[in-house]
Structure 1
């Protein structure tokens, strides 16, 4: 017994657990999880058993490894068994257990895999009302790991009070977090900068999102009555609305729940607040109704309205009347009976006229487009036929939200000026009295269109067509219906209402290329995967084929195979198929997959010929050989990213024309041709370089061709090198600058001559510069020489508000830095090319009249006003005949930057 105890104690000492560290990698990267144990050199390797487990399931062992993982056992004699996780996804992060068994002894260690995904930060700012509690939400979405910290700031100073924080795990395995800032706005907070700073492990530096609250000041409303001569005359009421901001406010008069007409008018006082005085005169009938009269002041984007109330009983106290005698009572009864008969006659007459109008109109059902596809315009239409069709007006709704025209028309201006957008005029929708006071409009793009049929002018029966053009959006139009209200112009009552059927929104799938897994170590089986994303509805079909017929897909877990919706409602799905690696290794078997969906007229096909990668061939690079004979050059061509490694390169001399003495137009060059490589860069990627040395005088009349041949190419790839004569262009000493009336700067440079064409790169900024977009035009001057004109248009911006206003579709007028910038810039930079700039400006003005500039070519350059940065514009001109690039610079004068 004592001997057995000593034996097991010796056996336990053979294996000791080593060190393990947690691993953090970016999303989609491969991670190596280390697992090492120290053991004696005499341990029998056949008695060792290694397993890696995740979430209670064995994912890798010495006998089997699941796809997406790789267990390296080559260093088992050193006690190291690392596990490689390929293309790590959020579902793969967590705790992995490495377990090593020797005989009856078991040892384990844990390794935590964490994905580093930076958050996307956004702020949701509600309506801000003075001295009313406001809650601002700061969202951080799609990040990992879940540890995150929010810090709120006001005017650059941190708010020390602790804030609430909530972190939730999303369906895709990442995390969302939200932090709330609760504060009571004061008048001093108007346009004060608030910020939400987010700190996370995956961020190099914290993200700071700022906002400026625009505070709404609720008005004070009081209602009073203007004394009248008698109770039988109209009563004038006065509504005083004061102390509100901004000046946009609507005033409604409401008597016993019914809205009365009103005409608001606002005046600003010395304190910057607005005041509106509204009068309304009640008729004798309205005054006799009695009850309460309210003056309601409603401001935009504010749900709660301010109101004042006056009780008519306090203005017109009831006078106690003595009892009536029998004759007076009989007279009153006869009067009531007469009024009742008149009312019934009027009501019957109006009801008859309503029936006649209804019968005189023939309203069709709402016609939906045959296919409603996300992002493509669709149109719903309704027709109204009748003798009074030209007097009909239509009001469209999406569900219960009224639809207004959201299209814009572009106003033509100076070619280099920014485009000005103005909203299209559209009629205000008729809203019923039972609707809310300020109904919200339907979100999305809509264009309203109404027209009469051409045959209506020659026929007594007229026909009107009304339609709504919209761009389908899944988050807005899914499960929605269109409604159309038919009424006569100037009338609030509805004649007819039509509701459309529910329509299905279609979104075609985005199908990836076929992806391959690494071959299984035992059977050499390769798993091929095709993914479809961003489609709707969720019914989709994958069909796999090879040259021998149709293949059967692999049965994968239902959670991966079934279409999965995202936060918006689009679906994604995947399908897999398997083939032996021997059939795919050299591209001997062609495999393709077809994806069928109801949004597709034809199925999408993705095909591959196995592990074959098409080579990328660079242009031919030449360099003179100083150590060789005069006129000799070395030509090189890079060939990268190809598989398999077998590749062939031929150098050819192509003649200038086919009238040469030789019959062949191309002749192979064998002397001096070399192929360096192929060199393996990745497990299935190679690169090589083709080299040759040539004498220029023997090839002066022809071209040198590098022809690359590979099994992945249907035809060879040719790269051509020509021994052309280079001439440097004529570069002006300065830039030409012109400012338009709305603050848009037009910078240009004119290059004369030069062969081949020069490359022009624009950049602008303050302390640092950024690349700009430009337009280049080539033409010939009067002397027949080529000219290159490069024009760059930019707009200065000194703050974030300017950028926001331009994104909203409105151009903010900016004072031009100078009226005559050319003269000032020449004085500042010491330039002397007055004649050249004058000729270039005339050239630009001629071109501006004939050509419209796309607003997308207007560059916005942001300058930090607090650091008093000066606008700086740089141009880099490169040409083969120039040993170094040429640079032209324009700097804004200091006195203009300070102003």
Structure 2
């Protein structure tokens, strides 16, 4: 029975959850939700149970399945249990949970089902009055999922004004969203096309709904009295209505709320606006009635008309202002009492709030950097002034996503960086401790900094500076804004909020050299092309010049001339210019192009002289391995990539600085000098090889110079071959090995003498080895001979257990070999460790100082060598030494001792010195 329980527990440990993926379908389609697990070879079906649930309701299991779903258990032997949802509806979208129960232990995974329904877009446009606040609604109805984005446009361009978005969930499981555009219409907006662009996952391309606002211009109404000589005659009033649009306007005369009859008449001025001058004569009864008279101008679709008011008691001298009666006097007295009480209340409230006003904060606007360049650090800053500025905390946001500090400082462990320590980004959130956990933070590099400074003008007023240093990234920061919330420490209430302006991200262009096309034989014209890539924004200018003046570029179609964005949002563009082939054939015409962009301090210039190409000259190589060898000596020099093909090569013999009187220091060698080629490799591209054969003994005693002359060169190019002696280095018989207490192994080799410097290549591994990083240092010893010291630092890894033991900043000591000892051996180990701890640390420090590890190494040069523990691999470190004096490379190898070594031998080795066994194979 005990064996059976252990067997089931072993099978249970072999079950591993598989990966899940989200599923998106259209309404009415069937969706297959995958659920897979890695099962052991033998599984008891009676102990295995599968259930699918949604919102706490079980939809399918091995015993029962709800209508509209199907659970496929026929492939359970492969560990796959897919659930099919028939005729998916918006109510069925959400997170589905797949749970596998085996032997009363549960394993689960989640799959998200999304139903894609495109939105229906419509616009609600209210009355539009000149310079009055207008709010336009853009509705997107019956869509799913709820993520949607609105973009407002004016004449095809994005409107950089704030707008609001609201998303509502409808009864049918879909979503409605509305975006409001608030603006104040101007005359320039008349007959201008506005648009609302909606982007959604279910749309192949965005929907653009356009409208043209019909702007109404309100008139200016002026009301006046025509002078009258008699009180008994009718009173005539004049009403001027000026500057309105359109003409369909009606004018009403109202006296004390009663409409009077009128006769309208309009006149249009030169600006297209209308003007109406209308008179109205009050009768004797209407004149004696007194009060106020209004001239009201009404326009269609305008809720608030324009009007002018005149008081007859002031405008008409014949109308007497009657005295106030008792009721009016009482009203005036009550009004005076009310005003007095209000004044006293305001005074008391202001006295109570006196201290709070002294504690008020003065928050500046967010200051953006003058230029935001991709890849270069920028800083946004805000300042807060006040008596309690030191108690203020700031919270920064990118758009609406909080920013956390992602900068970090490297952490050292002992003389070396710990091999087990991996630098990670600091995630210190600046959000208040009382707020809820946030689902995500702004991606990218950010460094938060807060500094207090005392103002010199007043010691009681303090100033706090808060800034965010960031590295601009086009995909993250394009069109973004920074927000800063100011609050007091320990409180969640936001005292002030500042929002930055949108900033333009700059990226300077990478400009290529001028490329040439093949000449057109019929027209005899060559097209020159210059390309600019990886720049932002998309405004760029190419200007072509030659020695005669500025050239006109080749015109492109609009689709090809506009800069083209790539997947990352950077732009690329090209420009072409044409010249006759005859002017470019021999390089007689100097042509250059300048590229102007806002991210450049100075324009980038690319210059050419036509098809002329400068040659590339290689170093001189010799046929002999060493000058001491017998036989003829031949020198060679490769000349590639030049045009035209006429080229001149001279071989010169240079003597020492001191020469006899009348003797030249350099002598041309003509015997044995040859030029192989020129050979055409590409159109208008040639290569050649300069040879110097059968050098005599006298010539071998100095320096040999290969001098190349070409029409593309302002001065000849020279390559020098010196008759130097090649000496093999002194190679030790073994490697120097030191194991640190934290499991880091330091391997080094010292090569004495040798000319030129040898090349060293390190490798390590088990059955197979991989290349390692190393650090080399050259110096002279006490005898004046050159020395080359190569150091390689590594740490061995056998899998997850060892990595777990290295978590944090502490590393567990790893010995070169591990054996199983009995209790007596363990006591001997502990005793030996106590006896050697002080001496071992001293020896390690001396060894590391001798190797110069602290000075030469950093964490990027610590190699991790992975060994397969299940195959009992032993660590093997080898170094390859290559030198011209050695016909074959030399190899030094260190191999980890076998695990079968006795416990006593291990203790003996650990107490005397660390393992430095080497196996040279020369």
**Does TM, scored on the shorter chain, surpass 0.5?**
yes
Task: Tell me whether 1:883 sits opposite 2:881 in the alignment.
Answer: no
What is the aligned partner in structure 2 of residue 623 from structure 1? Answer: 623
Partner secondary structure for residue 633 of structure 1: coil
Q: Describe the shift of the 1:675–1:365 C-alpha distance in structure 2 as closer, same or farther (beyond 3 A).
A: same
Deviation at 1:859, TM superposition (A): 3.2
Deviation at 1:737, TM superposition (A): 2.3
Deviation at 1:380, TM superposition (A): 0.8
Task: Tell me whether 1:671 sits opposite 2:671 in the alignment.
Answer: yes
Partner secondary structure for residue 532 of structure 1: strand
Provide, for residues 799-835 of structure 1, a one-character-per-residue CA deviation record: whole Å limited to 9, x for no partner. 69999999xx9889576351799xxxxxxxxxxxxxx
CA distance in 2, matches of 1:593, 1:407: 42
What is the aligned partner in structure 2 of residue 430 from structure 1? Answer: 432
The answer as to whether partners of 2:764 and 2:877 remain within 8 angstroms in 1 is yes
CA distance in 1, matches of 2:847, 2:755: 22
CA distance in 1, matches of 2:376, 2:370: 13
Task: Tell me whether 1:709 sits opposite 2:709 in the alignment.
Answer: yes
CA distance in 2, matches of 1:376, 1:137: 40
Deviation at 1:409, TM superposition (A): 0.6
1:742-757 matches, within 5 Å, as 742-757=742-757
What is the aligned partner in structure 2 of residue 575 from structure 1? Answer: 575
Task: Tell me whether 1:872 sits opposite 2:870 in the alignment.
Answer: no
Provide, for residues 485-539 of structure 1, a one-character-per-residue CA deviation record: whole Å limited to 9, x for no partner. 1122222222211111111111111112222222223223222222111111111
CA distance in 2, matches of 1:850, 1:132: 46
Task: Tell me whether 1:635 sits opposite 2:521 in the alignment.
Answer: no
CA distance in 2, matches of 1:572, 1:736: 55
CA distance in 2, matches of 1:390, 1:892: 60
CA distance in 2, matches of 1:446, 1:639: 51
Task: Tell me whether 1:533 sits opposite 2:533 in the alignment.
Answer: yes
Deviation at 1:598, TM superposition (A): 0.7
Q: Describe the shift of the 1:804–1:558 C-alpha distance in structure 2 as closer, same or farther (beyond 3 A).
A: farther
The answer as to whether partners of 1:780 and 1:787 remain within 8 angstroms in 2 is yes
1:11-30 matches, within 5 Å, as none
Q: TM-score, normalised by structure 2?
A: 0.55
Provide, for residues 15-56 of structure 1, a one-character-per-residue CA deviation record: whole Å limited to 9, x for no partner. xxxxxxxxxxxxxxxxxxxxxxxxxxxxxxxxxxxxxxxxxx
Provide, for residues 770-824 of structure 1, a one-character-per-residue CA deviation record: whole Å limited to 9, x for no partner. 4333211111223332211011223445569999999xx9889576351799xxx
1:845-860 matches, within 5 Å, as 845-848=849-852, 851=855, 853-860=857-864
CA distance in 1, matches of 2:620, 2:726: 17
Provide, for residues 303-341 of structure 1, a one-character-per-residue CA deviation record: whole Å limited to 9, x for no partner. xxxxxxxxxxxxxxxxxxxxxxxxxxxxxxxxxxxxxxx
CA distance in 1, matches of 2:359, 2:723: 85
The answer as to whether partners of 2:632 and 2:693 remain within 8 angstroms in 1 is yes
CA distance in 1, matches of 2:583, 2:597: 30
The answer as to whether partners of 1:779 and 1:786 remain within 8 angstroms in 2 is yes
Number of residue pairs matched by the alignment: 571
Partner secondary structure for residue 502 of structure 2: coil
The answer as to whether partners of 1:409 and 1:422 remain within 8 angstroms in 2 is no
Provide, for residues 199-232 of structure 1, a one-character-per-residue CA deviation record: whole Å limited to 9, x for no partner. xxxxxxxxxxxxxx99799xxxxxxxxxxxxxxx
Give the gaps of 5 or more residues in structure 1: 1-129, 139-151, 165-180, 190-212, 218-344, 822-837
The answer as to whether partners of 1:612 and 1:643 remain within 8 angstroms in 2 is yes
CA distance in 2, matches of 1:714, 1:811: 60
1:356-375 matches, within 5 Å, as 356=356, 360-375=360-375
What is the aligned partner in structure 2 of residue 94 from structure 1? Answer: none
What is the aligned partner in structure 1 of residue 911 from structure 2? Answer: none
Partner secondary structure for residue 375 of structure 2: coil
CA distance in 1, matches of 2:585, 2:802: 58
CA distance in 2, matches of 1:737, 1:590: 62
CA distance in 2, matches of 1:625, 1:395: 70
What is the aligned partner in structure 2 of residue 135 from structure 1? Answer: 21
Q: TM-score, normalised by structure 1?
A: 0.56
What is the aligned partner in structure 1 of residue 252 from structure 2? Answer: none
1:729-768 matches, within 5 Å, as 729-768=729-768
What is the aligned partner in structure 1 of residue 607 from structure 2? Answer: 607
Partner secondary structure for residue 623 of structure 2: strand
Larger radius of gyration: 2
Partner secondary structure for residue 633 of structure 2: strand
The answer as to whether partners of 1:655 and 1:666 remain within 8 angstroms in 2 is yes
Deviation at 1:631, TM superposition (A): 6.0
Q: Describe the shift of the 1:689–1:800 C-alpha distance in structure 2 as closer, same or farther (beyond 3 A).
A: farther
Provide, for residues 687-726 of structure 1, a one-character-per-residue CA deviation record: whole Å limited to 9, x for no partner. 2211113546313542111112222223322221111122
1:588-607 matches, within 5 Å, as 588-607=588-607
Q: Describe the shift of the 1:625–1:876 C-alpha distance in structure 2 as closer, same or farther (beyond 3 A).
A: closer
CA distance in 1, matches of 2:861, 2:476: 32
Give the gaps of 5 or more residues in structure 2: 1-15, 25-35, 42-76, 84-94, 112-344, 820-841, 907-922
Deviation at 1:574, TM superposition (A): 1.3
Q: Describe the shift of the 1:526–1:726 C-alpha distance in structure 2 as closer, same or farther (beyond 3 A).
A: same
CA distance in 1, matches of 2:860, 2:430: 33
CA distance in 2, matches of 1:810, 1:509: 44
Task: Tell me whether 1:485 sits opposite 2:485 in the alignment.
Answer: yes
CA distance in 1, matches of 2:585, 2:78: 62
What is the aligned partner in structure 1 of residue 90 from structure 2? Answer: none
